[in-house]
């Protein structure tokens, strides 16, 4: 039986801070979990998903923001992930990856799923005898409710959904963009400031009570057993 959804009021600047913190999870001190996981923003068109993602991550050079991706390009970039040049991939419109041949999209989905969990090592067309290294990445994406509903069963049965946190939201003022245009003034949600731990490590300091509180807040999430939680 699924838990009831929980709703919280949140400023856009807080969501920007959350996504920035998710990117920095690569520095959390852990000799146990290597998984990265990710966060998806689920909101209707015009709810600033791409803007929020951009403002959260544009100050980090090790975050790769993409508008589209295919298997060949991902394979060519694998070395950059292994070397740590890029530790996060972000898609303002993740749905675009599925606007192609279904088999191609499924192959790409499988590789992304591996990269956030057990690690991706080889493409099916590579010789299995070659030496290789695993590459992992945090994945952040924005999708519409329609895309989420259409792919929900597939993602659940294939294990894709349990690797991520899913944040569904709506704007208090759905006319915020039109209002800003009327005033000829750009929206300002704030931007994340580039922060890295001085020691290169963020100590894991979540206590038992805090962990229990977090599990309670994420009771309806398929990824309650993900280290990202």
Go through the domains of the chain in sequence order and give each one's CATH number.
12-217 (3.40.50.300)
Tokens of residue 103, six digits: 């088999």
Please choose, from the candidates 115, 86, 112, the residue with its C-alpha nearest in 3D space to the C-alpha of residue 97. Answer: 112
Give the percent of the chain with pLDDT over 90: 35
The pLDDT score that the predictor gives to residue 187 is 79
The pLDDT of residue 64 is 94
Predicted model pTM: 0.85
Residue 51 burial (10 A CB sphere; 0-12, 13-18, 19+): middle
Residue 18 is predicted with a pLDDT of 92
DSSP letters spanning the chain: -PPPP------HHHHHHHHHHHHGGGGB--SS-----EEEEE--TTS-HHHHHHHHHTT-TTEEEES---HHHHHHTHHHHHTTS--EEEETTGGGGGSS-HHHHHHHHHHHHHHHTT-B---TTS-TTS----B--EEEEEE-HHHHHHHHHHHHHHTSGGGSEEEE---S-TTHHHHHHHTT-------------TTS-B-----HHHHHHHHHHTTT-TTTTSTT-
pLDDT for 97-106, tens place per residue? 998 888 888 8
Q: Quick check: 82 and 135 in contact, CB under 8 A?
A: yes
Interatomic CA distance for residues 153 and 63, integer angstroms: 29
The pLDDT tens digits of the residues spanning 169-225 come to 988 888 888 888 888 888 777 666 778 887 788 888 889 999 888 888 777 787 555
Apex 210 CA angle, 205 and 211, nearest 5: 85
């Amino acid at each position: 039986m699924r838990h009831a959804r929980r709703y919280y009021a949140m400023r856009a600047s807080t969501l920007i801070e959350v996504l920035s913190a998710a990117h920095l999870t690569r520095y959390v001190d852990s000799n146990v979990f290597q998984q990265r996981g990710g966060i998806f923003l689920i909101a209707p068109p015009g709810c600033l998903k791409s803007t929020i993602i951009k403002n959260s991550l544009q100050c980090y050079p090790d975050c790769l923001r993409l508008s589209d991706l295919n298997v060949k390009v991902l394979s060519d970039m694998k070395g950059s992930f292994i070397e740590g040049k890029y530790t996060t991939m972000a898609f303002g419109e993740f749905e675009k990856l599925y606007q192609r041949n279904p088999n191609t999209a499924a192959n790409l989905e499988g590789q992304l799923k591996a990269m956030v969990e057990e690690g991706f090592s080889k493409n099916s067309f590579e010789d299995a005898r070659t030496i290789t290294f695993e590459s992992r990445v945090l994945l952040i994406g924005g999708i519409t409710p329609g895309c989420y509903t259409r792919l929900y069963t597939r993602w659940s049965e294939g294990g894709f959904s349990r690797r991520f946190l899913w944040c569904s939201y709506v704007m208090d003022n759905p006319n915020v963009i039109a209002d800003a245009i009327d005033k000829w003034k750009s929206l300002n949600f704030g931007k994340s400031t580039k922060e890295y731990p001085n020691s290169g490590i963020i100590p894991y300091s979540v206590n038992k009570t805090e962990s229990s509180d977090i599990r309670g807040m994420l009771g309806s999430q398929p990824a309650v057993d993900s280290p990202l939680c």
